[in-house]
Structure 1
C-alpha cells in the first residue's frame, strides 16, 4: 500500500467538518469517494473536492472489484455497525466515528469481524487531541496538581429548540440524544486520564419541548484509582461551565471554552492553516493554589495526529491510533447510565 485510497461515508458534520479535511490535508491519503444521499451536501462536496467521486449510496461504494484501502464511517449512529460489517466484508480497513455501535454487544461483534478478516478497525476519538486536553494531561503527568481527586468536564451550548437532525429526532435505542453524542468523548477522556470505573450515576433529562431523547445529561464516575469524575452535557445551557476544572491535593486546573478546531473548520480554515487549533483570543488555562495562580499556555489542538498514527499503522503494522476496546468500555458505561 502506498497512498491510502479512502472513502468517506457521510458528509454531515462528521464527514464535512472533520474527516474529509483531515484526509485531504495528509499526503499519505487520497480522498477518492464521498457518499452522501443529500443533493445539497453532494454539491458542497463537489465544490470542495472536485477530484473526488461523489456517490449517492453505499451500494456503489462496495460494488467495485477493487476495495478502498480505508472506509471512514461518519453516518448516523445506528448505521455504524452495519456499514462497518459491509466495509470489512469488502476488504477495507475501517474508521468509525464514535460510537462503534449503539450497543456494546454490537461493537464487540464489529471488532471480532475485523480481527477475523485481518482488517484494521479504529474509532475517531478526536477529542484526545483537543488542545486543552493535551495541556491538562501534561499538567497532571507533571504532578502540578498533586493527587487528583475530582475531574469536572463539561460540553455545553445553547440550542433551546429541537432540531430536525437525526441526533434530535431519534431516541437512545438508535443512538440519539446528547449522551450518545458527547458521552463517548467525555468518558473516553476520563478513562484516558484516570483509568477504570467502579461506579456510575446518571441523570438524563429532556428539557426542550418535543424532545424524544436526552438533551441535558450528567454522569458521575468513581474510578478504581479513587478519582471522582463529573461530566456535564447540555444543549440548553444559557452559559457554559468551565470546560475543565480538575481539583488536586495541591492545586486546581481550569480552562474555558471548547477546542476551536471544529469551529475553525466550519469557518473555512483547514488543518495546516496558520493558527488552526489555537484560540484566536490567545486564552490560557490556569493552575491555582494557596500560593497563587499561574497561567498555563494552551497547546494547539491537532486532530491530524489521529490520521498520522493511522497511516503508520496501515503502512508499518503498528497499533491503531485508538484501540476500539477503549470505546467499548465507554459504551458499557453509557448503557449502564441509560438503564439507570
Structure 2
C-alpha cells in the first residue's frame, strides 16, 4: 500500500496525467557538518525532485562517499559564482546566516536558512526586503514543526477538548553540564550564541504557531555553567490579551525529563512527552524514505489527556502521537517551487520569532516586562 505525505501520490499522478516530467531543483549546501549530514542532505538525496549539485567543504571531502555527484567547493562565494544551482541551504553557524543569505539572494538564488534566522530582527528584516526586491524566497528551516510531539499538541488544541486555553508550558531541556567545544554556540562574546537563540528559536516558533503573537513578555536568561559560557538557561513568560499565559523554558541541568508540553484549559489538560526521535535515528544512520513514514514506531503512549466531555464526565486517557517527518518540509519547499503552494516557515513570518527573542534578551537585561 502506498502511503502519501502531503498528497505526494495524488500530486505526482496528476503530473503524469498531464504528461509533464518532474521538475528537478538543483541545490547547494553551504556546509557539510552535523546539520548538513543529518538534517538536509539525506532528505534532499531521497526526494526525487531535488538534486544536490554542490557542497561547500573548506578543507575536507567527506561528502564524496555518499554524494559523489555533487561538486565540492571551498567557499560559499566560490559555489555561488560557479555552481549551477537553484536553491541554497545556509546551514552554517548563526553568526554567518545574514552574510551568506544576503550573498545567495544577490546571486539570484532562493534560500533555505537554518534556525535561528539571524542574530537579531534588524538583520532578518533586511533579508526579507532584499528577497522581495529580487523576487526570491527565503524559508527558515523550522524542522521541529514536523516533530511528532509538536504535531500531537497542535491536534489536541485544534480539536477543542481542552476548552479555552488558559495556560501552557513548552520546555526543551538537556543534561549537558560541560563544554561542547562549539564556540559559535557557547562563546558569550559571539552574538547569537547560547540557548535563547538555539533552542529558544524552536520554542518561540511553536508558541507563535499555537497561540499567535503575544502582547508582552518577561524573561530570565543566563548561564548556569558560569559567565565564561553563553546563556544555557532561559524562562520566558508570554502574555496574551485573553489572559492566556505561555511559559517557555530550557535548562542544561535537567537529568530527569519533564513533560515537554503542558496545556491547560477550562475543560481539561494535556501533557505530552518530547518523543520525536528523528534526529537520533538520523545520527545513527537511518535513511529517510520518500513517500512514507520511516521512523521507528512508539513502544508506549507518550501523552496524557484529561478532560470533561459533553456529558460532564471526566475522561482520562493515554495518547500516542503519529509519526513526524522532516521530509514534509522539503516536500512543501518543492510544492511551492513547482506548484505555487504555501511556503513553509517563510522568513517574513519568522521575523515575529526574532522580535520575541530580541525582546526576551532585553527583558532579561533590564529586569522588565517588554511590550511587543
- Aligned: 1:178 with 2:192: no
Q: Do residues 119 (structure 1) and 136 (structure 2) align?
A: yes
8 Å contact 2:27–2:53 — kept in the other structure? yes
Aligned to 1:299, which of 290, 306, 322?
322
**Would you say 1:19 and 2:40 are equivalent positions?**
yes
Is the 8 Å Cα contact of residues 216 and 234 (structure 1) preserved in structure 2?
yes
Candidates 174, 196, 206, aligned match of 1:157: 174
Check if 1:61 corresponds to 2:79: yes
Aligned residue pairs total: 336
The answer to whether residue 253 in structure 2 is matched with residue 232 in structure 1 is no
Judged with a 3 Å threshold, the aligned counterparts in structure 2 of structure 1 residues 326 and 223 are, in CA distance, closer, same or farther, namely: farther
* CA deviation string 1:7-44 (max 9, x = no partner): 111222321110111211211000112213353xx32x
Runs of 4+ that moved beyond 6 A: none
Which of 64, 69, 78 is the equivalent residue of 1:46? Answer: 64
1:79 aligned partner: 96
Indicate the residue corresponding to 2:183 in structure 1: 166
Following TM superposition, by how much is the alpha carbon of 1:59 offset from its aligned partner in structure 2, in angstroms?
Answer: 2.5
| 1:330 is the counterpart of 2:356 | no
- In the superposition, the TM-score normalised over structure 2's length comes to 0.85
Structure 2 gap ranges (5+): 1-21, 309-313, 364-372
The structural deviation recorded for 1:275 is: 6.2
Counterparts of 1:213 and 1:238, CA distance in 2: 20
TM-score normalised to structure 1 length: 0.93
Q: SS of the residue aligned with 1:236? A: coil
Of the two, which has the highest radius of gyration?
A: 2
CA displacement 1:284-330 (0-9 Å, x = unmatched): 32202462421222011111111111111111233311121221111
Aligned position for 2:344 = 321
CA contact (8 A) 2:293 2:325 kept: no
- Change in Cα spacing, 1:50 to 1:179, as seen in structure 2 (3 Å) is same
Asked whether 1:257 is paired with 2:278, we answer: no
- Does the 8 Å contact 1:169/1:176 carry over to 2? yes
Cα distance in 2, alignment partners of residues 46 and 292 from structure 1:
55
Query: Is 1:5–2:17 an aligned residue pair?
Result: no
> Over aligned residue pairs, what C-alpha RMSD do you find?
2.0
Quick check: 1:168–1:211 contact (8 Å CA) kept in 2?
no
Structure-2 separation of matches of 1:326 and 1:76: 21
Question: 1:81-160, aligned counterparts within 5 Å?
Answer: 81-160=98-177
